[in-house]
A = this chain, B = another copy of it.
Amino acid sequence: MLSQRPAARTHPQLSNAGLKATVAAIAVDECGQSCAGFIAAERPLTVYLDKREVVTLMTMGCEPELLVLGWLRNQNLLTELAQLQAIQVDWDTDAVAITTTTGVDGLDEKLARKTVTTGCGQGTVFGNLMANVERLRLPRVELPQSVIYALLKRLSAHNEVYKQAGGVHGCALCAGDDILAFVEDVGRHNAVDALAGYMWLHDIDGGDKIFYTTGRLTSEMVIKVAQMGIPVLVSRSGITQMGLAIAQQVGVILIARAKGRHFRVYHGAEQIEFDAVPGLSEPKC
C-alpha cells in the first residue's frame, strides 16, 4: 500500500502483519443474477499498551503497525519514538501488543480524558486536539496549479481498493506530485493515523508536503493534518464549516472537490499560482 519506505531513524521492532485489502463476495444484482466481486476487509484490532487494553480499532488491516503507531501519537499517548520497544500484531487473536521502554506517564489520566472525546464525527480526541490547535501555525507555502493537476493524475492510479470494492477512504502523503505513501482503510481516521505513523517512524517533516484524502474535511481531519505539520490539504470530497474555520486559524491551504481538472480553494487561494487554468475549450467551472 505504501510506495516508499525510507530508512527509519530509530528502530522499534514492528511485526509485518499487513493483510490483503479485499475479500471476495458474491452478491445478487437487480436482475436477480449472482455477481462475484470484492468487498473491503474489516477486522477488529484490540490494542494492548504494556499489557493494558486501551482501544479496539476497526481496520482493513493493511498497515496495522503504522496505524497503531500513528494512533498512539495522535492520541498523545506516546510523544517519543524512543519510548517504543515493539509493536506486535497477532491476527489469531485480533490483538496488537505494544511494549514501551518507559511505561506511559499518566496513562490513567490520559485514558480518562478520552471518555470525553469518543467517536468519529463524534468528537474523537476533540478536547485534547482543540487545546493544541491554539498554538499551531503552519509554514506559508506557494502551490502551482500545475502541481495540483499532476498530483491528481498520479493519484488516480491509486485508490485501488475503492475502485475494486468501495467502502474505503484513501489518504496520501505527497511531495509535489510525488506520492510518498498511500494508505486506504475503512475509516478515514485510520488512514490519517497510519500516515502519521509513517511520518513519525521515518522522521518526515510535513512542512513541504501535501496531504490528499478522498474523505470529507471535517474539523478533526483538518486538525490532524495540521498537527502533522502539513500546510496543504486536498480532498476529493467536501468540507465543513469547522474544517474551514480551523484551516483559516492554523493557515492550511484547503482545497476541496479536487477531481480531474476541477477544484475549489476554500482557504489560501492567494498562495495558488494559477499556471494551468483550463482553456476555454474545456468545461467551465
Complex formed: what's the CA distance from A90 to B285 in Å?
40
A167 to chain B, nearest CB (A): 3
Chain B residue contacts of A111, Cβ below 8 A:
115
Chain B residue contacts of A265, Cβ below 8 A:
27-29
Chain B residue contacts of A150, Cβ below 8 A:
none
| Nearest B residue to A269, CB-CB | B28
Q: A277 near B30 (CB under 8 angstroms)? A: yes
A88 at the interface (CB under 8 A from B): no
Identical copies in the complex = 2
A138 at the interface (CB under 8 A from B): no
Complex formed: what's the CA distance from A216 to B169 in Å?
10
Chain B residue contacts of A240, Cβ below 8 A:
39-42, 167, 186
> By DSSP majority rule, is chain A's interface helix, strand, loop, or mixed?
mixed
Complex formed: what's the CA distance from A31 to B116 in Å?
44
Q: B39 near A241 (CB under 8 angstroms)? A: yes
- Classify chain A: how many residues form its interface, as a range: 35 or more
When A32-B277, A119-B120, A190-B121 are in contact, do A220 and B41 touch as well, CB less than 8 Å? no
Chain B residue contacts of A274, Cβ below 8 A:
31-32
Complex formed: what's the CA distance from A27 to B267 in Å?
8
Output the residue of A33, A39, A127 with the most chain B CB within 10 A. A39
A18 at the interface (CB under 8 A from B): no
Chain B residue contacts of A145, Cβ below 8 A:
30
Q: A256 near B165 (CB under 8 angstroms)? A: no
| Nearest B residue to A149, CB-CB | B30
Point out residues on A near B: beta carbons under 8 Å. 23, 25, 27-33, 35, 37, 39-44, 53-59, 71, 111-112, 114-127, 130, 145, 165-168, 185-190, 216-220, 237-244, 256-257, 261-266, 269, 272, 274, 277-278, 284-285
